[in-house]
């Protein structure tokens, strides 16, 4: 059964096709209104993520399908100790497609092995969250009208930020992009990602300064610098403001910069930036919903 | 190859010097009732020094485990005091229940009876990743 656990489960041509379908949904939503009629999507969330769950449910409803769902917080059978394998086998009998979020890394791999219907990973701990990446790259393609020849700045926690790693892996499939990794020294890109960049032979560099990188950027992908990642309060206080995007830091930016953020935001982007036409992080969530619609249809064999 | 002392059994040769106890532990040779000999720091033309393990019984050996410990080990099967066959090893593509995932956030830490599976991702550097959470396996 075809499932999507990681962005690597989708070929480049499939990702391109999903983006084309998402664009068509944008132009012509009526055409898709009944595509999933009589189909049921189950969302099983072993940890709360209201936004992700609602995005999938809204996607399915916009396709004319139905949704069954567990309460966000605790799955009752999980509390009784039922294995993921058993849960997924049972729910495969109730739904045509399953969306799962689980705090344990690799849980969707186990689930996908046992499910008899397609399964989408909606996030497993710090591991993968492929539909976030699909949202990110559609946002880039729509705002920049291309996925190549761009200078992409990734800013914040590049060590633990899974969305960053996954976005890099996806963008490496498109030629001639240049990457600037903007982070405190403590939160630099992990070794295996550095190797992937070197192996791909792309141009990339690292800097601690968002300000010096800013004028070059076509895309700025912001992530949060979390307090728990630092060994001491001093470093955190010293660094946190450096990675907060405000109007002042945007002064030297290109007029057609696209600012992305996987959300939720805490304070890493000043609210004053929201009204700047370069801010695309709320639009990003619409792109996410449309990519989820396209992915659901792909896995159900409708497109 | 010196197979003295083994009539019907297995001689593990070309073990890197100092690794024989690792082989002993991984293959759980301590559980055997038969004669098991560990010979350390033998002279070897090929390797300088090497270890040898002799097992005086034709037991089933998990060649994947052995290949994981050291793909250069050779396995000699002895029958009636004569060399029956010689096997060369390779790093296995997949390890099942040989090493455990140490990532506390990995699904293997909670899901019942889930085998610990690792996939070889870099043969040269001998790097394995957990098939579930992708964390790199600890070295032996
Ligand atoms: Zn693992």
Per DSSP, the residues of B52-119 read EEEESS-----HHHHHHH-TT-EEEEEETTEEEEEEE----SEEESSS----TTBGGGTSTT---EEE
Provide mean pLDDT across the span B132-139: 89
pLDDT at A109 over 80: yes
Kind plus residue range of the DSSP H or E element containing A220: strand A219-222
Helix (H, G, I), strand (E, B) or coil at A104: coil
List all residues of chain B from 98 to 127 with a beta carbon under 8 Å from chain A: 103, 105-112, 114
For chain B, first and last CA: distance in Å?
A: 27
- Check: CB of residue B120 under 8 Å from CB of residue B128: yes
The chain-wide mean pLDDT, for chain A, equals 93
Predicted local distance difference test score (pLDDT) of residue A99: 98
Between the CA of A55 and the centroid of ligand 1 the distance, in Å, is 28
Kindly state the percentage of chain A with pLDDT values over 90: 80
Q: What is the pLDDT of residues A235-288, one digit of tens each?
A: 777 777 778 999 999 999 999 999 999 998 888 999 999 999 999 999 999 999
Q: What is the pLDDT of residues B11-53, one digit of tens each?
A: 999 999 999 999 999 999 999 999 999 999 999 888 899 999 9
Helix (H, G, I), strand (E, B) or coil at A134: helix
Predicted local distance difference test score (pLDDT) of residue B3: 65
pTM given for the model: 0.89
- Check: CB of residue A292 under 8 Å from CB of residue A138: no
- Check: CB of residue A244 under 8 Å from CB of residue A269: yes
Q: What is the pLDDT of residues A132-184, one digit of tens each?
A: 999 999 999 999 999 999 999 999 999 988 899 999 999 999 999 999 999 98
- Check: CB of residue A56 under 8 Å from CB of residue A294: no
Predicted local distance difference test score (pLDDT) of residue A79: 53
Asked if A109 lies within 8 A of B132 by C-beta distance, the reply is: yes
Provide mean pLDDT across the span A59-70: 96
Contacts of A184 by beta carbon, 8 Å cutoff, 6+ apart: A208, A225, A235, A239, A242, A243
List all residues of chain A from 30 to 59 with a beta carbon under 8 Å from chain B: none
Domain boundaries, chain A: 7-125+288-299, 130-285
pLDDT at A67 over 60: yes
- Give me the half-sphere count of Cα atoms (radius 13 Å) on the Cβ side of residue A66: 7
- Distance between CA atoms of A207 and A213, rounded to whole angstroms? 8
Of B109, B111, B134, the CB nearest to A83: B111
Provide mean pLDDT across the span B71-96: 93
The domain B9-88 is placed in CATH, from the list 3.40.50.1220, 3.40.50.300, 3.40.50.80, 3.30.70.140, at 3.30.70.140
**How far away is chain B from the Cα of A81, in angstroms, using its nearest Cα?**
9
- Distance between CA atoms of A146 and A221, rounded to whole angstroms? 16
Interface predicted TM-score (ipTM) of this complex, two decimals:
0.86
Kindly state the percentage of chain A with pLDDT values over 70: 97
Single out the residue of A242, A164, A244, A250 nearest to residue A208, CA to CA. A242
**How far away is chain A from the Cα of B131, in angstroms, using its nearest Cα?**
8
pLDDT at A72 over 60: no
- Distance between CA atoms of B17 and B97, rounded to whole angstroms? 26
Of A84, A85, A106, the CB nearest to B106: A106
Between the CA of B59 and the centroid of ligand 1 the distance, in Å, is 31
Predicted local distance difference test score (pLDDT) of residue B2: 62
CATH 3.40.50.1370 fits A7-125+288-299, yes or no: yes
- Check: CB of residue A158 under 8 Å from CB of residue A187: yes
Asked if A107 lies within 8 A of B132 by C-beta distance, the reply is: yes
For A107, which residue in chain B has the nearest alpha carbon? B107
Predicted local distance difference test score (pLDDT) of residue A213: 97
Predicted local distance difference test score (pLDDT) of residue A214: 98
Q: Which residues of B touch A85 (CB under 8 A)?
A: 111
- Distance between CA atoms of A188 and A155, rounded to whole angstroms? 10
DSSP state of B32: -
Q: With an 8 Å Cβ cutoff, is B78 touching chain A?
A: no
Q: Which fold has domain A130-285?
A: Rossmann fold (3.40.50)
Q: Which residues of A touch B134 (CB under 8 A)?
A: 105-106, 127
Between the CA of A92 and the centroid of ligand 1 the distance, in Å, is 25
Domain boundaries, chain B: 9-88, 94-130
Asked if A104 lies within 8 A of B107 by C-beta distance, the reply is: yes
């Amino acid at each position: 059964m075809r499932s999507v656990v990681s962005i690597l489960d989708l070929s480049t041509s499939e990702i391109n096709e999903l983006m084309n379908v998402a664009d068509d949904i944008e132009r012509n939503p009526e055409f898709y209104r009944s595509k999933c009629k009589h189909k049921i999507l189950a969302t099983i969330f072993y940890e709360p993520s209201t936004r992700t769950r609602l995005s999938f449910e809204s996607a399915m409803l916009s396709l004319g399908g139905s949704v069954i769902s567990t309460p966000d917080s605790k799955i009752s059978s999980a509390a009784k100790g039922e294995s993921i394998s058993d849960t997924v086998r049972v729910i495969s009998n109730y739904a045509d497609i399953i969306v799962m979020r689980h705090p344990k890394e690799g849980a969707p791999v186990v689930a996908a092995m046992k499910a008899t219907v397609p399964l989408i990973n909606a996030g497993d701990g710090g591991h993968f969250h492929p539909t976030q990446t699909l949202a990110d790259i559609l946002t880039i393609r729509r705002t920049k009208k291309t996925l190549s020849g761009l200078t992409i700045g990734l800013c914040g926690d590049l060590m633990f930020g899974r969305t960053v790693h996954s976005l890099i892996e996806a963008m490496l499939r498109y030629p001639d992009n240049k990457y600037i990794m903007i982070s405190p020294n403590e939160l630099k890109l992990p070794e295996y990602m550095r190797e992937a960049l070197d192996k791909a032979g792309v141009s990339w560099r690292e800097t601690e300064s968002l300000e010096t990188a800013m004028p070059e950027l076509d895309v700025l992908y912001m992530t949060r610098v979390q307090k728990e990642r630092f060994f001491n309060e001093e470093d955190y206080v010293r660094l946190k403001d450096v990675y907060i995007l405000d109007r002042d830091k945007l002064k030297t930016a290109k007029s057609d910069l696209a600012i992305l953020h996987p959300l939720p935001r805490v304070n890493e982007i000043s609210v004053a930036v929201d009204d700047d036409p370069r801010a695309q992080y709320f639009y990003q969530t619409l792109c996410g919903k449309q990519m989820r619609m396209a992915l659901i249809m792909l896995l159900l064999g409708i497109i | 190859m010196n197979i003295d002392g083994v009539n019907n059994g297995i001689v593990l040769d070309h073990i890197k010097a100092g690794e024989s106890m690792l082989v002993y532990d991984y293959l759980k040779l301590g559980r055997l009732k038969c004669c098991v000999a560990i010979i350390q720091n033998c002279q070897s033309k090929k390797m300088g020094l090497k270890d040898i393990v002799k097992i005086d019984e034709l037991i089933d050996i998990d060649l994947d485990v052995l290949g994981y410990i050291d793909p250069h080990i050779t396995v000699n099967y002895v029958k009636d005091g004569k060399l029956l066959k010689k096997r060369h090893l390779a790093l296995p593509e997949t390890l099942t229940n040989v090493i455990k995932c140490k990532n506390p956030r990995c699904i293997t830490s909670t899901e019942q009876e889930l085998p610990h599976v690792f996939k070889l991702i870099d043969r040269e550097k001998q790097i394995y990743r957990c098939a579930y959470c992708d964390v790199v396996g600890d070295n032996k």
